[in-house]
Amino acid sequence: MHGNSPYSGSEPSDPEPELTGTQRRALKHSINQIAARTRDFLPDEYVVGSEISSSTAGVQVTVAVRPPVGSPVSAGFSPEFEDVSDDDLIPSEDREEVARGLAASAALQVKHALGDDVPKTAR
């Protein structure tokens, strides 16, 4: 059989729920809070961004940090839609944890990129 057969590959799954306008605004607000909190932990040389995307796997939220040197780091996850209110798709403790983790990972990327070439500033 050829790859263009309608029966090849995985079985079609149930479609993921679409975001309502209220959910999209709440999700955007939450990831903007994560990005802002991440910026609070880092100097201005780090670039922080966020996005909401949809795919066949559902809604995906990504927050990324581009350090001045080294590789970018990101955190991507899918919010839970069941048993939560529209304004609490990403709980505040999760937002704080993601922001801290991203900031620490971005700082570590800079440290790895610079290696031992940086002179010590204190004795």
Predicted confidence at residue 1, as pLDDT, reads: 47
Closest CA to 92 of 31, 40, 42: 31
Contact 81, 17 (CB under 8 A): yes
Q: What CATH number is given for 21-113 in this structure?
A: 3.30.160
Domain residue extents for the chain: 21-113
- Burial class of residue 41 in the structure, from the number of CB atoms within 10 Å of its CB (0-12 exposed, 13-18 middle, 19+ buried): middle
Predicted confidence at residue 86, as pLDDT, reads: 55
Predicted confidence at residue 94, as pLDDT, reads: 86
Predicted confidence at residue 14, as pLDDT, reads: 53
pLDDT exceeds cutoff 60 at 29: yes
Average per-residue pLDDT in the chain?
80
User: Which tens digits make up the pLDDT trace of 42-88?
Assistant: 999 999 999 998 877 788 889 999 999 989 999 988 877 665 555 56
